[in-house]
A and B are shown apart, each in its own frame.
Chain A
Amino acid sequence: MIHQFRIFDTNMVLDVNSGAVHILDDIAGRVLSCFDETGTPVEERIEHLRREIGAEPVNEALSELEELKAEGLLFSSDPYEEMFTPETTPAVVKALCLHIAHDCNLRCKYCFAGEGDYHGEKALMPVEIARKAIDFVIENSGNRRNIEIDFFGGEPLLNLKTIKETVAYAKEREKDANKRFRFTVTTNGLLLDDETMEYLNETMDNIVLSLDGRREINDSMRVRRDGTGCYDAIVPKFRKMASIRKDKDYYIRGTYTRSNLDFSEDVLHMADLGFDQLSLEPVVLPDGSGLEIGREHLESLFAEYERLAQKLAELRKQGRKINFFHFMLDLEGGPCVAKRLRGCGSGTEYLAVTPKGDLYPCHQFAGFEEFRLGSVFTGIEKREIVDTFRGINVYTKKSCRNCWAKFYCSGGCAANAWSFKKDLHDVYDIGCELEKKRIECALWLKAQEMSD
């Protein structure tokens, strides 16, 4: 399977199964369009092209394409499906999203977590629960050495005490358990002060700071209880946090909605503020919520991603390297195919823990009783739910198995599939369309880097 596309003036082709990416000139692009889906040139079409642009260039391009085929870099076969069946997915847990606070000091209008409480009672995770979660992941992670703990909310800094004690406890257990804990935190920033910033900088492998971009955009969505926006309160803190981070990871991460379809302006605004690790994601909300992305927005969003890619390429030429999360692609050192076909690991290697200690397949399933797996005290009680998640990969999802993007999105988000289709083996179509455009833009950016 291949995906041939043209973006700006560049013809590109992705060979899906090998991951090879090629840039074609116009002649090679047209010759490749004469191949059928099995990778066989259709003689009638080739002959037509010879008459139109001349036999010599067509034959040259044809022979180059055949050479790539022979090398397994075009129309290559898929050896993975039989090899990486759901049964081969390891039954270990190696990442936890700790819901440190089911409460929030903001009332963001698109919040999937019901303004922080996940549609339940407000609660802070007690230290004992968090410690038990650390014990649980050590016991259930088999021989995995790298363990990830994400402090999430609501707003996790409402419960900094538990974060600190959890980090200390995990570090204490690390050596004997032969594990390496890596911590991340996602915060809206309101409670960041100098001492907290120092602490987070020292202990966190990644710090995700929430900002939606331009002041008027951010403040129309990310508001306090009294309706006031938080931009002016958080941006100076985020700048300080980013400057302290130096080479360590952080992200300025936001959400865009139908009310800022020109979201590239928000990404560029973040860059103007001096930040260089950026993420801005489409909101995921059901039809009728008033902020959701609809099919009618796709064309303008595609153009917007292209505009953003172009701007980032220009900035790069000027010496400013911006890392936009959704355009990040490591063509040589990216994840292996086993990971790519299994996806994010929700419900298998990645679980969420609520303040009470209940386990869910991921943070987005928290509070949905039918997905409650057990607790940090009892362990996994509903193994059948875990088995369902183990059974999901790009081959068991009918929309994915023949999709060219399957090794990049890895089947998409299970929670989104559930929200929109009530079927974990289905997909959230709008998310798919946007993801495909982002991959094309990311590949184009790689091509620009190569030509520099």
Chain B
Amino acid sequence: MKHIKTLSGNTLNKDLKKVGCGECQTSCQSACKTSCTVANQKCER
């Protein structure tokens, strides 16, 4: 594309039947404790 660069494609809407295993880190157990930031956690799969 000439006018648009894609940084990342579809990352959320895929394999929806396989998501939600719950093995990932709970966000507040990292460096947060007073605010909620979830998107910076990693998927463990």
Contact = CB atoms under 8 A, between A and B. Distances in A.
Partners in one complex: yes
Contacts of A345: 26-28
B33 to A, nearest CB: 7
Contacts of B24: 146, 335, 339
A118 to B, nearest CB: 14
A338 B8 contact: no
A279 B26 contact: no
Given A64-B2, A64-B3, A148 B29 contact: yes
Contact of B36 (A186, A279, A343): A343
A206 B39 CA distance: 18
Contact of B37 (A12, A21, A94, A408): A408
Interface in B3-34: 3-13, 16, 19-34
Contact of A336 (B28, B33, B34, B43): B43
B37 A18 contact: no
Interface string A15-52: 00111111111011000000000000000000000000
Measured as residues with beta carbon below 8 angstroms from the partner, the interface class of chain B is 35 or more
Contacts of A255: 34
Given A146-B23, A330-B42, A325 B29 contact: no
A414 B7 CA distance: 32
Contacts of A150: 28-29
Measured as residues with beta carbon below 8 angstroms from the partner, the interface class of chain A is 35 or more
Main SS class of interface, A = mixed
B29 to A, nearest CB: 5
B7 A331 contact: yes
A371 interface: no
Contacts, number: 221
A328 B40 contact: yes
Contact of B35 (A60, A331, A435): A435
Interface string A386-411: 00000000000000000000011111
A325 B7 contact: no
Nearest to A439: B39
Interface string A434-451: 010011001100110010
Contacts of A27: 3
For B2, B10, B30, B33, which residue has the most chain A Cβ atoms within 10 angstroms? Answer: B33
B28 A344 contact: yes
A335 B11 contact: no
Given A184-B29, A279-B31, A409-B37, A22 B7 contact: yes
Given A146-B44, A332-B8, A340 B39 contact: yes
A145 interface: yes
Interface in A192-222: 206, 208
Contacts of B10: 18-20, 72-73, 76
A12 B44 CA distance: 28
A349 interface: yes
Given A19-B8, A148-B26, A335 B43 contact: yes
A303 to B, nearest CB: 19
A20 B38 contact: no
Contacts of A57: 3
A284 B1 CA distance: 44
A332 to B, nearest CB: 6
26 contacts: A19-B10, A23-B4, A24-B4, A25-B3, A28-B3, A65-B4, A94-B22, A150-B29, A206-B29, A251-B31, A253-B31, A279-B32, A281-B35, A284-B34, A325-B37, A325-B40, A333-B43, A334-B42, A335-B39, A335-B41, A338-B19, A339-B19, A339-B22, A344-B26, A416-B34, A416-B36
Leading 9 A-B pairs by shortest Cβ distance: A338-B20, A336-B19, A328-B40, A251-B31, A28-B3, A95-B26, A331-B8, A279-B31, A19-B12
Interface of A: 12, 17-25, 27-28, 57, 60-61, 64-65, 67-68, 72-73, 76, 79-80, 83-84, 88, 90, 92, 94-95, 97, 112, 144-146, 148, 150, 152, 182, 184, 186, 206, 208, 251, 253, 255, 277, 279, 281-284, 325-326, 328-340, 343-346, 349-350, 362-364, 407-413, 416, 431, 435, 438-439, 442-443, 446-447, 450
Given A343-B36, A345-B27, A450-B5, 19 more contacts: A22-B4, A22-B6, A79-B16, A80-B13, A80-B16, A148-B25, A277-B31, A279-B31, A281-B35, A325-B32, A326-B37, A328-B40, A330-B40, A333-B42, A340-B39, A344-B32, A349-B26, A362-B28, A416-B36
